[in-house]
Amino acid sequence: MSVRIILDTNIWVSYFIGRNSDEVALTILNNNLTVFSCSELEDEVVDVLGRAKFKKLIRLDIERYLLF
């Protein structure tokens, strides 16, 4: 049985900019976790990734991260 989780914006942003990306992915895969989201969380991720200090750290359009 899969455990359902929601990851905080901080975790997603760290994952997208490459910090702890292996750890997050391995934790999800190794523990058979199902990750859920909501529109409010997605809006917050878009807001944070759109900030100047993060724009230089991401390589793709923000929409591509949301598709992930």
Tokens matching residue 41: 């969380």
**Residue 45 CB burial class (10 angstroms; 0-12, 13-18, ≥19):** buried
**Of 9, 1, 5, residue with least CA distance to 49:** 9
Using 50, 70 and 90 to split pLDDT, how confident is the model at 10?
very high
What pLDDT is stored for residue 22 in this prediction? 83
Using 50, 70 and 90 to split pLDDT, how confident is the model at 67?
confident
**Of 63, 15, 64, residue with least CA distance to 35:** 15
pTM reported for the whole predicted model? 0.79
pLDDT tens profile 14-57? 888 887 778 888 998 899 999 999 999 999 999 999 999 998 89
Q: Which helix (H) or strand (E) segment is 59 a member of?
A: none
Delimit the domains of the chain by residue range.
3-67
